[in-house]
Structure 1
């Protein structure tokens, strides 16, 4: 018997640039909206869980530990970038960071500019700037998350959506 694969299944796959991450220092929640990193090249979220093994006469028993979540981000450093500086200061000063993950391919039913996503709080645990003679400066960040995050609808403004793609602009005058 010959198996066939429906290649159309892959047509609905989510492209990496449609998953966006927004960041804000928790202490700035009353005065600042969340912001995306400029020139993000890669994001990641890892959920892991250790398990203890107990040897018994009948075989081993595994006892799972608590789930741990880590979020990573890599971007090209933009001139005058203040978010990277704020996140580095937050790491040094042990300040809590809020992180939103939004899937721009899955609009929420609760309103415009809302998308399915997750909300996290955690700390910057690693920040690395790499600069070689031939390439742009690259910044890699790792966030250790408290708990496992909460699912919900994430507001992503039109300006924030520009991180993932161009947003339609009309031909009318836009300002001074």
Structure 2
């Protein structure tokens, strides 16, 4: 008898799949940065296919895959990174994006399974409901399909992704 063991697998918490961003031209001086107060991230991969009618039936020819990444966060006071990203959109600067699964350790200290992408910020939306916080939505059009590897996520960056237990003693 065969069992589908996938049914019994643990799931990954949304808080543990994090995205870091960096404007490529700043790679020598800046590290990947998480958006503060992120509420949602998504990655969509799609592929169109052309169809051609033949005497034997339809033949489909797949096109190239396209990847889009989106991020939504609450705007924090004094945030300069969102402004830098908006400038990158205006200047057609390439942005690096890391999708990191903090539930899956990689090889080495502070290394986690990751996907790395490069692309362009294609949309910035600020929404400001009178009764809510200002929300920032970003969309990135990715070049290619991305590459799988291990990314370094510092302890500080990991703390941004989730609360870390602190003891009650002084200095903890």
- TM-score, length-normalised on structure 1? 0.90
Deviation at 1:9, TM superposition (A): 2.2
- Do 1:95 and 1:123's aligned partners in 2 also have CA atoms closer than 8 Å? yes
Is 2:136 the counterpart of 1:114? no
Residue of structure 2 equivalent to 1:68: 66
Please give the alpha-carbon distance, in whole angstroms, between the structure 2 residues aligned to 1:124 and 1:40: 17
Deviation at 1:132, TM superposition (A): 1.1
Please give the alpha-carbon distance, in whole angstroms, between the structure 1 residues aligned to 2:15 and 2:91: 31
Residue of structure 2 equivalent to 1:19: 17
Number of aligned residue pairs: 167
RMSD: 1.7
Deviation at 1:163, TM superposition (A): 2.4
- Do 1:22 and 1:37's aligned partners in 2 also have CA atoms closer than 8 Å? yes
Residue of structure 2 equivalent to 1:9: 8
Secondary structure of residue in 2 paired with 1:111: coil
Residue of structure 1 equivalent to 2:33: 35
Structure 1 segments of 4+ aligned residues over 4 angstroms from their partners: 168-172
Change (3 A) 1:158 1:168: farther
Residue ranges of structure 2 left out of the alignment (5+ in a row): none
Residue of structure 1 equivalent to 2:130: 133
Residue ranges of structure 1 left out of the alignment (5+ in a row): none
- TM-score, length-normalised on structure 2? 0.92
Residue of structure 2 equivalent to 1:166: 163
